[in-house]
Amino acid sequence: MSEYSTPAAPRLRGPAERRLTRRGLLRAALGAAALAPLAACSVPGARVHVPTGKAEIAAAVSDFWTGKKGSGKLDFVNYTQYIDVDPTDQSRHPTLDAFTRRSGIEVAYDELIDDSASWFGKIQPEFASGQGIGYDLMVVGGDSYLTKYIQLGYLAPLDHSRLPTFAQYGGAAFKNSSFDPGNVYTVPWQSGMTGIGYDPARVGRKITSWQDLLDPKLHGKVGMWNDAVQMGNVALLAVGVDPETSTHADWRKAAAWLRKQRDAGMVRSYSTATYQSSLQRGDLAASLVYSGDVFQANQSGSQLEFVIPDEGGLLWTDNLCIPSTAAHPVDALTYMDYVYRPEVAARISETVQFVCPVPAAQKVVARDAAAATGKQHTVLDALSTSPLVFPTEADESKLRHLRVLDEEEEKQWNALFEPIYQA
Amino acid sequence: MERAVRTDLPGLKRRRRRPGAALAPYWMILPGWLWLAAFFVTPVIVMVSLSLQTGDFIDGFRQTFHFSTYADVVRTYHVQLVRSLVYGAAATVACALIGYPVAYWIAFRAGRHKSVFLFLLLLPFFVSFVIRTQSWNVVLADNGVLLGPLKDWGLLSADFHLLATPYAVIGGLTYNFLPFMVLPVYVALERVDPKVVEASTDLYASRTGTFLRVVLPLSLPGVFAGVLLTFVPASADYVNAGILGGPSTTMIGNIIQTEYFTNLDYPGAAALSFVLMGALLLAVFTYARALGTDDVLEAAAR
C-alpha cells in the first residue's frame, strides 16, 4: 500500500462562493419545476354508499350472494394464538379438522394479524386496487377500523338465512353491537373484557376501583396502554361516564384524569406489547389488562387477580367478517355458522380463554371437565365457572361498550388521548 | 511538429474512431439512475406531495399546498423531535466509545482470528431486531438477572429500575447499532499501513503519540462513516422506545408510526418524516463542518 488517506483539510472559502450564480438560478428554476408534479398528485377517497334500512340491506345481500357457490376451500386469517390447538401437535387445530371432515371444505389457516392498525395498513392497498387479499374470512376488532372497512365497502353483507346456528346460539350481549347494528357485516369471534389486573402479593390489598390506580402505594408501578381507544374508554369509566353516551366535555375530563395519573408519576410505562410479562415479573404491580391474558398468565403459574372495577369495565368484541373480494365467500359463511355450535365454541374457549360469545358452550365445558382427570380437570373446571370466560349477570351489568367514533370525532379523540402516552 | 505527436496519442485515436464512446460511462450509469428515479425520487415526490395535502382517509386527500401542516407537526411534536436527535446522538457517542476499541482490537490484536470476531460481532443480527430488543426487557427487569442480585446485595435500592428510563432506550439503541459503528472503523483501521506506525516509532513517537497523531487521524473517515450509519437510523428508530421506554421517552419514529398506521393521517406523517429528514441532514452537515470535512458523502465513502 503506497497511498495514505488523510482527513481532508478545510477548503479555503471566499466570499464569492456564496454569491447567487447563474447555475444557482438555474437550480432554483429546476426546483420550482419539480414542485409542479406535486399539484397533480392526490389520494382519492373511496367512501361507498353504505346500505341502511331493511330493504336496502336485503338488496345488497342478494346482490352479493346471488350466483355464489361453495368451492370446498377456505382461506382464514386470524390473530395469533386465537383458536384451539392440538396439545400433541401445535400446528393442528382440532375444530378446523372437524370442520373439514363435516363439510368437505379444506381450510388454509394463517395467524398473521398483530393489531387492527397494522393489518389494515397491510391489506388496504390490495382492497383499494380491487385485488383479493387472499383470504375469505378474517378477524377484525370492533373498533374504528371496522367502521372504515364498512365505509370503504371492503366487507360483504352477511346472508343471515345461511347462519341459523348464530341466530340460535349467539349470546344476546354479543348481538346487535353499536359498531355493527343487526350484524350486517360481522359476527363475534371471541369477546373480552378490559379491566385491572394486579398481583395481590405486591399490592397488599384488594383493588376495586379505577381510582385505586392513583394510590400512592402503587407509585411508578402502574401499567397503562399506548392505545387511545382503550385508554380513552377506560378513563371515561374512571370519571363515572358511560363511554357510549359520552360527550366531548366528558372526553376532556377523562383525558385530565389520565394526565393527573401520569403527572403524579403513577405510570411505569404505556405499552400493550409488554404489560403481560412485566406484570408477571413484578415490574408492574397493577395494570390495565385483557381478561384472557390474566387467565393465561395464571395457567403458567402467576397469581394475578382480574377485577372489573366498580365504575365498570369494557366489553369488546373481535369479529369474523368476509372481505368483499373473497374468492370463496360461501365456504366462509358455512364456517361462520359452524363455530356457533356450542361444542365447537367450547373447544375454542378451552384454549383461547377469552369471553365466549356462545353461552351454551358453558355446559359443554362443564361436561368436558367432569369427564377429564388430573390437571386437565382442574383447568376445565376453573374455566367452566370462570367469570372471565362466562361472565355472570352481575359482571355483565358492570360491562360497558366502546364508544363508536366517526371520522371527525376520532380526530378529536386522538388529539386528546394520544399526547398522554406519546409524551 | 508537436501537433503531429499529439495525434499519435492512443487515447485520441480511439476517441476519433468511435465518437459514441464518450457517452459510454453515462450509458453504464443509466440503470443506476433509473433505479434511483423509480425507487427513491418518485416515492419522495409522492411523499412531499402527500405532506401538502388535506383531507381524510375515507373521503380522500386533495392537493391544497397546505404548508402549515409542517408548522403544526413541529409545534405539536418538537419535544419528541429534539429528544430523538439527543437520544440518537447519545447512542452514537456511546457506540463510538465502545466500538472504537473493539474495532482497534480486532484490526491490530485479533491476528488470524479476525474473521471469527467479525462474525461474532454480526452474529446477533441473525436474530430479529424486535426479539433482541425484547430480550433486553427481560435482562433489565427490575428483579431480573442483572438488577436482582445487585438489589439483594444492597448495592441498589429496591426502587431502582432501568426499564422505562431514557438510559434503557439509549442503551438499546447503542446495542442495536453498535456493529454499524464497528465495521467501518475496522475497515479504516485495517487500511492503516503498519509501516506508518513503524515509521512513527522510528521517529521517537510514544505509543500514545503514535495513536493520537497517526492511527486516529487515519481512521477518522471510518468513524465518520460509522457516525452516519448509527446516528441516522438510531434517531429514527421506534422499536427501542416502544419496548424499553417509559412514559416520557417517546421518539419521533413512534409518532410517525402512530400517525401513519393508527390515525391514517398521511399528510401529518409525511410532513413529520420530512422534518426529521431535514433535521438529520442539518445535524450531519453541521457535524461534517465541525470535523472540517467539506464533502460529507466523499468522506463517508472513503
| Smallest CA–CA distance from B133 into chain A, residue | A274
- Mean per-residue pLDDT for B245-249? 91
Is A67 strand, coil or helix?
A: coil
- Chain A: give the shortest CA distance to residue B220, in Å: 7
CB contact (8 A) between residue A43 and residue B61: yes
Is the backbone of residue A76 left (phi > 0), alpha (psi -120 to 50) or beta?
Answer: beta
φ/ψ of B143, rounded to 5, equals: -120, 35
CB contact (8 A) between residue A117 and residue B221: no
Task: Give the H or E element holding residue B272.
Answer: helix B266-291
d(C-alpha B229, C-alpha A222), whole Å? 37
If one counts every other C-beta atom within 10 angstroms of the C-beta of residue A282, the result is 16
Q: What sign for the dihedral angle of Cα A62, A68, A70, A76? A: negative
Task: Please name every residue paired with A73 in a beta bridge, in sequence order, or none if there are none.
Answer: A106
Which residue among A38, A220, A273 sits closest to B52, beta carbon to beta carbon?
A38
Which residue among B49, B191, B193 sits closest to A38, beta carbon to beta carbon?
B49
- Whether the pLDDT of residue A9 is over 50: the answer is no
Which CA distances in Å does A16 have to A21, A83, A155, B275, B285?
A: 9, 72, 64, 30, 21
Q: Chain B contacts of A226, Cβ < 8 Å?
A: 242
DSSP label at B20? Answer: G
CB contact (8 A) between residue B294 and residue A11: yes
| Smallest CA–CA distance from A414 into chain B, residue | B263
- Whether the pLDDT of residue B298 is over 70: the answer is no
Which residue among B58, B141, B250 sits closest to A281, beta carbon to beta carbon?
B141
* A45 interface with B at CB cutoff 8 Å: yes
d(C-alpha B201, C-alpha A35), whole Å? 59
What pLDDT, on a 0 to 100 scale, did the predictor assign at position B16? Answer: 56
- Chain A: give the shortest CA distance to residue B183, in Å: 18
- Whether the pLDDT of residue A157 is over 60: the answer is yes
Q: Chain A contacts of B136, Cβ < 8 Å?
A: none
Which of B58, B139, B190, B262 to substitute to test the interface with A, most A CBs within 10 Å? B262
Q: Chain B contacts of A8, Cβ < 8 Å?
A: 292-295, 298-299
- Return the percentage of chain B with pLDDT > 90, whole number: 74
CB contact (8 A) between residue A38 and residue B45: yes
Which residue among B59, B138, B243 sits closest to A273, beta carbon to beta carbon?
B243
- Mean per-residue pLDDT for A103-132? 91
Residue A321 is placed in which grid cell? 367478517
Buried b / exposed e across A218-229, counting CB within 10 Å, b at 16+?
bebbbbbbbbbb
Q: Which of A184-198, A226-240, A379-393, B27-41 has the lowest mean pLDDT?
A: A379-393
Which residue among B138, B217, B264 sits closest to A7, beta carbon to beta carbon?
B217
Q: Chain B contacts of A262, Cβ < 8 Å?
A: 247
Of the pLDDT bands very low, low, confident and very high (cuts 50, 70, 90), residue A174 is: confident
Which residue among A37, A45, A120 sits closest to B58, beta carbon to beta carbon?
A45
- Tell me if A166 sits within 8 A of A336, measured CB to CB: yes
d(C-alpha B36, C-alpha A350), whole Å? 54
Q: CB under 8 Å to B17, separation ≥6 — which residues?
A: none
Residue B75 is placed in which grid cell? 409545534
- Mean per-residue pLDDT for A356-365? 95
Q: pLDDT tens-digit profile of A315-348?
A: 999 999 999 999 999 999 999 999 999 999 999 9
User: Where do runs of H (alpha helix) occur along B109-128?
Assistant: 114-122
d(C-alpha A258, C-alpha B247), whole Å? 12
Task: Please name every residue paired with A109 in a beta bridge, in sequence order, or none if there are none.
Answer: A76
What pLDDT, on a 0 to 100 scale, did the predictor assign at position A17? Answer: 45
CB contact (8 A) between residue B262 and residue A37: no
Which residue among B53, B142, B292 sits closest to A283, beta carbon to beta carbon?
B142
Is B254 strand, coil or helix?
A: helix
- Chain B: give the shortest CA distance to residue A149, in Å: 10
CB contact (8 A) between residue A282 and residue B243: no
CB contacts < 8 Å between A and B, how many?
145
What pLDDT, on a 0 to 100 scale, did the predictor assign at position A10? Answer: 39
Of the pLDDT bands very low, low, confident and very high (cuts 50, 70, 90), residue B23 is: confident
Interface of A with B in 95-154 (CB under 8 A): 117-118, 120-121, 148, 151-152
What pLDDT, on a 0 to 100 scale, did the predictor assign at position B107? Answer: 93
Q: Which of A63-77, B48-62, B288-302 has the lowest mean pLDDT?
A: B288-302
Of the pLDDT bands very low, low, confident and very high (cuts 50, 70, 90), residue A21 is: low
Closest by CA to A41, choosing from B43, B75, B269, is B43
- Whether the pLDDT of residue A39 is over 90: the answer is no
Of the pLDDT bands very low, low, confident and very high (cuts 50, 70, 90), residue B302 is: low
Which CA distances in Å does B51 have to A126, A144, B260, B271?
A: 23, 24, 12, 5
Of the pLDDT bands very low, low, confident and very high (cuts 50, 70, 90), residue B2 is: very low
CB contact (8 A) between residue B221 and residue A7: yes
* A44 interface with B at CB cutoff 8 Å: yes
CB contact (8 A) between residue A121 and residue B261: yes
Give the pTM: 0.82
Which CA distances in Å does A125 have to A76, A116, A120, A131, B243?
A: 19, 15, 9, 9, 28
Which residue among A1, A10, A267 sits closest to B247, beta carbon to beta carbon?
A267
Of the pLDDT bands very low, low, confident and very high (cuts 50, 70, 90), residue A250 is: very high
Of the pLDDT bands very low, low, confident and very high (cuts 50, 70, 90), residue A200 is: very high
* A216 interface with B at CB cutoff 8 Å: no
What pLDDT, on a 0 to 100 scale, did the predictor assign at position A13? Answer: 41
CB contact (8 A) between residue B248 and residue A282: no
d(C-alpha A241, C-alpha B242), whole Å? 30
| Smallest CA–CA distance from A285 into chain B, residue | B142
| Smallest CA–CA distance from B81 into chain A, residue | A423
- Mean per-residue pLDDT for B121-125? 91
- Chain A: give the shortest CA distance to residue B221, in Å: 7
- Tell me if B212 sits within 8 A of A20, measured CB to CB: no
CB contact (8 A) between residue B164 and residue A418: no
| Smallest CA–CA distance from B265 into chain A, residue | A411
| Smallest CA–CA distance from A6 into chain B, residue | B218
Q: pLDDT tens-digit profile of B160-203?
A: 999 999 999 999 999 999 999 999 999 999 999 989 999 999 99
Closest by CA to A364, choosing from A347, A378, A352, A376, is A347
If one counts every other C-beta atom within 10 angstroms of the C-beta of residue A299, the result is 13
CB contact (8 A) between residue B217 and residue A270: no
* A283 interface with B at CB cutoff 8 Å: yes
φ/ψ of A400, rounded to 5, equals: -120, 165
CB contact (8 A) between residue A121 and residue B254: no
DSSP label at A218? Answer: G
CB contact (8 A) between residue A47 and residue B49: no
d(C-alpha A248, C-alpha B67), whole Å? 29
- Chain A: give the shortest CA distance to residue B121, in Å: 26
Axis-axis angle for helices A361-371, A342-352 (nearest 10) = 70
Q: CB under 8 Å to B282, separation ≥6 — which residues?
A: none
Q: Chain A contacts of B72, Cβ < 8 Å?
A: none
